[in-house]
Structure formats: C-alpha cells, structure tokens
Amino acid sequence: MTPEQDNKATVGRLYEAFRAGDTAALDSLLASDFINHNPQTTNGLEASKSLFAQVGAIDADLYRVVAEGNLVAVHAHYKTPAETAGMDFFKLRDGKIVEHWDVIQDLPEHTASGQDMFSELS
C-alpha cells in the first residue's frame, strides 16, 4: 500500500470506531498529543475519548475520502448526534492521527441549486 492508502485506511478505522462507539480504539488511532481545531473540544487523546464516551456512537456515511501526502479529507453525512454535512481534514504521522480540522453545516430542506449536499453530477 502507498502512504496515502495507509492514511485513508487509518481514517476509515476511525469512522468504524465512531459507528461502534468504540472509544478504546482511539488509543491506536490518535496520537496522545492529538490537536483538535474543533472549537467545541480540547486537545489530546484523553479529551477525545472523554468526548466520544459522552456522545456515544456516531453514524456517518462517507461520500468522498481524498488523501495527499500526510493529509486525508473526508466529505461525510453525519446522522448522529445531529444530521449534518461535514468536511473533516486529518493530518497523520507514523500511522496515527495527529491533527484534525472540520467544517460542519446543517442540512437544508431545499437548496437554491436543487442539488443535495452529497450527490455528484457526473
């Protein structure tokens, strides 16, 4: 596998852990000094484990996963705890996620273009 494929697989395992509510899996996926740029949580593996223990399982459908070097971008439809569209960006080093950024938005009932948040036109 290429480094990008390895990184995509690691991020894929993170989403599997989310779906299963498996906070223990985060030990093998996140660096202990994990940096989280989400304004609603703090940095570190233990903070992430605590957050996900409170939230519980998170269901998400992944629509696009793109990797370049040590970065992986994910376009996802989050179904829990709220239904949203999200773009997550992960930075990896030595097989673990070391940094995370995200942009989350509510799903509109209608869009000006008539397109949903996840489809592809061609």
CATH of the domain at 27: 3.10.450.50
Q: Is residue 120 part of a domain?
A: no
Where in the chain does DSSP place strands (E)? 30-36, 60-68, 71-78, 84-93, 96-106
Q: What is the count of structural domains for the chain?
A: 1
Average pLDDT of the residues in 64-79: 97
- State the pLDDT at residue 87: 98
Q: Is residue 82 part of a domain?
A: yes
Q: What is the pTM of this model?
A: 0.93
- State the pLDDT at residue 60: 96
Q: Is residue 115 part of a domain?
A: no
- State the pLDDT at residue 122: 61
Q: Is residue 44 part of a domain?
A: yes
Task: Tell me how far the alpha carbon of residue 91 is from its chain's centroid.
Answer: 11
